[in-house]
Structure 1
Amino acid sequence: MNIPALPRSLRRGFSLVEVTLASGITALALTTLLGLIPQGLTNIKEAGNLAAETRITTHIVGSISQAPWQDENGQDILAPEFNTQRYFFDDQGVAIEGEEPGADLAYVAVVHIPARDVTLPADAAAPADDSDVDPYLRRITVKVTSVANKDFDFEHALPMAYRTHTTLIARVGQ
């Protein structure tokens, strides 16, 4: 039995060249998308770290700003109480209570409160002295690392191993 050949206009399907081009375009697109996945995961991790560090810094600065600054004799008690104090946090930036952090330790933070050193702009012709230091402002530096080691050495670590957050707090009462 003889099957008659159909005219070209009635034949359906793609030629080998068309299939090869479509496969090449698809492979290029998939390769590009797969190449973006590691960068996207890195960005997600970095965003999570920044969000946790923001919560950590806010928690620490909030607790320090609510503490009394001076005793009844006018002596500074803010720096002796909080300077070089360590705080421990889990992977979400929630404080771990207690003396010894457990297995959920993800972030370590240390606080530095220097002597009163905040001055506001004044008359340029006026001489600068210690009386220019604002008694109602204090500088607080919080260093945060995502290393789960409660004894992390901030002093000898590379600066890229931790982030430093510096802020000013204001005393409004007392």
Structure 2
Amino acid sequence: MKIPAFSRPLRRGFSLVEVTLASGITALALTTLLGLIPHGLNNVKEAGNVAAETRITTHVLGSVSQARWQNVSGEDILAPAFDQQRYYFDDQGVALETDEPGPELAYVAEVRVPARDVSLPADATPQAEEDGTDPYLRRVTVKVASVANESFDFDRALPMAYRTHTTLIARTGK
């Protein structure tokens, strides 16, 4: 007599425990991924802001560094021409070439060019001024705010409402 190997027919499928475990793992993975979406979107937005601010700062500093520093009589014309000058930019950091920017305005930048205040510690060159400042270096500060308000007040705003970029520019000739 032959004994059958299986007394019941083969079942194909998963048990209730296996389905429950698989559903739990899937739910955990989906919840984690959905929780990362807002963080990723904030990172993308912040990266766009940093890229636009970099373009803005480069544009403004390029304008200031290419300008004449002195007139023919030796008077400083850099600070009067650029100090507290405002520039307006769209959401990509492209300059708006108008005094009334309108609805495209996304960034406002303001330039500060203080009086000569840069002195190098080992500056013993004969070109140094009497007060020790270097006549070929100027400090330039660019403040950039991500606002659509052309009359944004940098002096009264909280420091976290805008970013400040300070650099030195050099003059290579007279």
TM-score normalised by the chain length of structure 2 = 0.90
Whole-angstrom CA distance in 1 between matches of 2:29 and 2:99 = 53
1:59 corresponds to: 59
- String of CA shifts for 1:45-102, please: whole Å, max 9, x gaps: 0000000000000000001000000000100000000000000000000000022111
Number of equivalenced pairs: 164
Q: Which amino acid aligns with 2:139?
A: R
Q: Which amino acid aligns with 1:132?
A: G
2:126 corresponds to: none
Whole-angstrom CA distance in 1 between matches of 2:163 and 2:68 = 27
In the TM superposition, what is the alpha-carbon distance from 1:122 to its structure 2 partner? 2.0
Q: SS of the counterpart of 2:108?
A: strand
Whole-angstrom CA distance in 1 between matches of 2:45 and 2:130 = 45
2:109 corresponds to: 109
Matches within 5 A, 1:18-97: 18-97=18-97
Q: SS of the counterpart of 2:87?
A: strand
1:170 corresponds to: 170
The worse-fitting range, judged by mean Cα deviation, of 164-173 and 9-18 is 9-18
Gaps of 5+ in 1: 1-5, 124-128
In the TM superposition, what is the alpha-carbon distance from 1:105 to its structure 2 partner? 0.2
Q: SS of the counterpart of 1:47?
A: helix
Residue 126 of structure 2 is aligned to residue 140 of structure 1: no
- String of CA shifts for 1:2-45, please: whole Å, max 9, x gaps: xxxx6568321000000000000000000000000000000000
In the TM superposition, what is the alpha-carbon distance from 1:132 to its structure 2 partner? 1.6
Whole-angstrom CA distance in 1 between matches of 2:98 and 2:29 = 52
Whole-angstrom CA distance in 2 between matches of 1:58 and 1:7 = 81
2:160 corresponds to: 160
Q: Which amino acid aligns with 2:26?
A: T
Shift >3 Å, 4+ stretches = 6-9
Whole-angstrom CA distance in 1 between matches of 2:15 and 2:52 = 56
Percent identity, aligned pairs only, is 75
Q: Which amino acid aligns with 2:118?
A: V
